Amino acid sequence: MTITITVEKDGFYEVNGMRHEPSVSLYVIPAASKLRRMLKDSKDLIICPGVYDGLSARIAMELGFKSMYMTGAGTTASRLGMADLGLAQLHDMRTNAEMIANLDPFGPPLIADLDTGYGGPLMVAKSVQQYIQAGVAGFHIEDQIQNKRCGHLAGKKVVGREEYLTRIRAAKLTKDRLHSDIVLIARTDALQQHGYEECIARLKAARDIGADVGLLEGFTSKEQARQTVQDLAPWPLLLNMVENGATPVITTKEAEEMGFRIMIFSFASLAPAYMGIRSALERLKTDGVVGTPDGLGPRKLFEICGLMESMKVDTEAGGDGFVDGV
């Protein structure tokens, strides 16, 4: 016999088509558990557009993406106005991740960049704890030195294997201590400095400590990407697709066929934001107007940012702020 239980957004659930009032809370599934289930219960590629602020996250949600990635490069660019050179610290990253992860409690789980973990084992433990408390569903932690840089720039340096594994161990112990489902993604940037074999050795060691997913940063060819999936199978791997970076363009279809389980697109919002904002400001400079298309007024933009839901919350509570609309 098959019993189909469908949990609705309001917490009511249906068993074989009959609607029931919840006697237990079925609907507050932590994002981390959601992501873990997505990894476990299906073989589908988990596609995460890179987002870097509230608006880019809202757009990803508007389009129905099932998961998102908070880019450290984008966070650094948007919050600090600086390049991805290890300048964003735990506070910058955690506050951004927390805001994005909590925009919609029923929304897509968020994977967030945790860079190097921002220090020694104690600091890694603190960082992981803060990500868990912020509602982040998964994070990657890497082996670059603290003065790190974007994984797609030359001149990267990594710490020794043992120090890297200390970071992974600190992360794993923290998530276990807090009984969190947060998905631990072990990233290595050792390819430039030490070559492919060292990357595989590092990732295998991270896997043996209990990392859930592996990430080899900056593949230089499609063959190498495919080979890594095979060399580490059946361990799930994440592919970071940065167009015009170190890796040739790999589509979601190709990544799925290669056997990757998660794919992040770090610059999916940042690069288009640059192009869009720049051309609008150019028009302003040359024509004296921004040239915003018809229909794209404040209301439309606020609707993307939850205007209707906010009005509903106020009205349901008896507020009179929106009785005459907006």
Which residues form the catalytic set? 69, 84, 113, 115, 140, 142, 150, 187, 217, 240
Alpha-carbon gap, residue 163 to 116, rounded angstroms:
11
Which of 45, 65, 78, 84 is the binder for ligand MIC (CB under 6 A)?
Answer: 84
**Within 13 Å, how many C-alpha atoms sit on residue 203's CB side?**
30
The answer to whether 219 and 192 are in contact (CB under 8 A) is no
Considering the complex, state which of residue 192 and residue 266 has its C-beta at the smaller distance from ligand MIC.
266
The number of beta carbons lying within 10 Å of the beta carbon of residue 39 is: 18
Interface mask toward ligand MIC for 188-227; x: CB under 6 A: -----------------------------x----------
In terms of CB distance, is 71 or 192 closer to ligand MIC?
Answer: 71
H or E stretch at 130: helix 121-134
Single-letter code of the amino acid located at 253 = K
Q: Under rule CB under 6 A, how many of the chain's residues touch ligand MIC?
A: 14
- Using CB under 6 A as the binding rule, whether residue 185 contacts ligand MIC is answered as no
Residue that the structure tokens 């803060």 belong to? 130
| Residue 72 binds ligand MIC, judged by CB under 6 A | yes
How far apart are CB 166 and ligand MIC at their closest, in Å?
A: 20
Nearer residue to ligand MIC within complex by CB, 46 or 150: 150
**Coil, strand, or helix at residue 215?**
strand
> What is the C-alpha separation between 193 and 158, in angstroms, rounded?
8
Chain residues binding ligand MIC by CB under 6 A are 50, 71-73, 84, 113, 150-152, 217, 240, 242, 245, 266
